[in-house]
Amino acid sequence: MKYIFVTGGVMSGLGKGITCASIGRLLVDMGYSVIPIKIDPYINIDAGTMNPFQHGEVYVLKDGTEVDLDLGHYERFIGVELTGDHNITTGKIYRNVIEKERKGEYLGQTVQIIPHVTDEIKSWIRRVAEESGADVCLVEIGGTVGDIEGMPFLEAVRQMKNELKHEDFMLVHVTLIPLDTGGEQKTKPTQHSVKELRSLGLQPDAIVGRCVEKLKPETKRKISLFCDVPVEAVISNENVEDIYEVPLKFREEKFDEYIIKRLKLEKRPYKSEWEEIVKRLKSLKEEVTIAIVGKYTHVRDSYISIVEALKHGGIVAGCKVKINWIESEELEGKENVEIEGDGILVPGGFGRRGAEGKIRAIQYARENNIPFLGICFGFQLAVIEFARNVIGWEDANSGEFAKEGHLVIDLLPEQKKVKELGGTMRLGEIEVTVVKGTLAYKLYGREKVYERHRHRYEVNPEYIEDLKRHGLVISGHSDNGRRVEIIEYPKNDFFIGTQFHPEFKSRPYNPSPIFVGFVKASLENKLEG
C-alpha cells in the first residue's frame, strides 16, 4: 500500500481538497485504484450540526454520514463511493479511545496522546486503506500546519513515515505563494510553513504552490533551495477558470511523473476521459442562467454540490450555467416578485428564516411556467405553495414552524421523539420507486433509483390524496408508497421537486438525470423566450 498525505500551510482555504482530489484523478487516469480519507481536526463527531456560514456544505455519503464538502470533491473527481470510515475527526478518535479505556483495553495504562491517540489514528488509516484493496491511499489533513488541533494527526503521520518504506510514503504540502505590490511572487510564507513542518519531524516531498499566476522558474528554484525539495517537485497551482482543470494543470507540471517516480510505481498508459470532459466544458458557447434562491447565497460553498451538478447537466445540455444568486429574505414583503433566470432552483435548508421568500419564488416559477427544481426543503416548500395557492388552504404550512393549520409537511414518525440533533435525520441512500409515465420516469428511464437523503420532515400522508386530487402528481415514492419522494406540476413544462438530494450523486462523467433535465428545460425556455 502506498500512502500520500496532503497538508496545508500559511492559511486555510487554499484548496487542499481539490489538490488531493486532483492527485487522485491523476492516479486513476493512469489505471491505479485510489481510496481517499479526510481528516478533520475539529472535536465534532461529524459535520452534521455545523453552521454552513462557518463550514460550507454538509455533504452526505452513501451510508448517511454527514461530512465535510471535500469528500464530495473526492467522489466527483476520483469516482469512488465513500462511507463514514473515510472521514476521521478528533471527536471520533477520542470517542474510540475513551470507549477502549472504559472497557479496560489499555490494561491499566495511563492513556495519553502518544501513543494511544496516535495509535488509534494510524490504526484507522491503515484499516481503511487495507480493506479497500486500493493501490494508493490519499489522506488529507484538514486545517493548517501549526494549528494545535492538528498536532496529534501530524504526529501520527510522522510515526507512519518511520514505519513505512521510503517508497510507500509521500508528503505533499499545499502552501500560498502571494504577490507583493510590485507583482513579485513571495516565497517567505512557504519557507516558514515548511519550517513549521520540519519542527514536527516532517519534510515535504512535494510542494504545491497556490498562486494567482503560474510559478516562475526562479520562484520554483528558490522554494527548492530553501525548502529542500527537488525543483521538479515544486508544483504550480495557479488560478484556473474551473476546478476540473486542476488535474490537467498538474499533468502539465509533470506532477504525475514525479509521483510515479517517488513512489516507485509502474508507469501506465494514460486515459483521457477527464481531459475530454474539460474540453467539452471549455467549448460550450451557449449560456443559461439559473436563479438559486436560498438563505446562504453569500456563502457559495453552502451549495457547492448543486453548482457542480448544474455544471454536469450543462455538459450534456450543451451550455454553460451562470448562477444568479438570490437571497430569499429579500423576496419577502415585496408586492411583486420578479426573478431573473431561465430556470429557478430552491435548494435544501432548514428553519423559518427566508422560507416565505422561497415560497414566493416557487409561486413565481409555477405561475409563469419557468422551469423549476426544488430540492429537499425546496420540495417541501413547493408542496406548501401548491396547497396555499392552488388548493386554497391559506394556512398550509410545515410542522417545522407552525403548530396548527393544514400541516402538509410534518415530522417523520420516527423523528418525533428524537432529542439529539447529530446524525439523527433520515440519512443516506434509499431506494425510490419512480412512477411510469411521469416526467421523473422520462428523466431516469427506470423504475428503481437510489438517491441520498437528509431530512426530518416529509409530506404529511394525511394530505396526499387531497394534493393529488387537485392536480399535484406524486411521481416518486418510497417505503411501499407511504413516503413522497418526487412531485410534479404537469400544467408546467418542467416543474419538479425531490425530497432527496440528487446533487450528491452527480458526476461530470455521470450527471444526475434530474439536473440534466432541468438545465435542458431552462435552455429551451431561454431559446423560446
Distance CA 297, CA 56 (A): 11
What is the distance in angstroms between the CA of the first residue and the CA of the last residue of the chain?
Answer: 57
Q: What is the number of alpha carbons within 13 Å of residue 401 lying toward its C-beta? A: 14
Distance CA 502, CA 60 (A): 11
Give the cell for residue 93. 478518535
> Rounded to whole angstroms, what are the CA distances from 374 to 167, 291, 497?
49, 12, 4
**Containing H/E element for 524?**
helix 513-528
Cβ atoms < 10 Å from Cβ of 228: 11
> Rounded to whole angstroms, what are the CA distances from 109 to 105, 106, 113, 115, 247?
9, 6, 12, 11, 47
482-507 burial by CB neighbour count: b if 16+ within 10 A, else e?
ebbbbbbbeebebbbbbbbbbbbbbb
Distance CA 358, CA 100 (A): 48
- The runs of H, that is alpha helices, within 30-117 are 52-55, 70-78, 90-102
- For the annotated catalytic residues, the residue numbers are 376, 501, 503
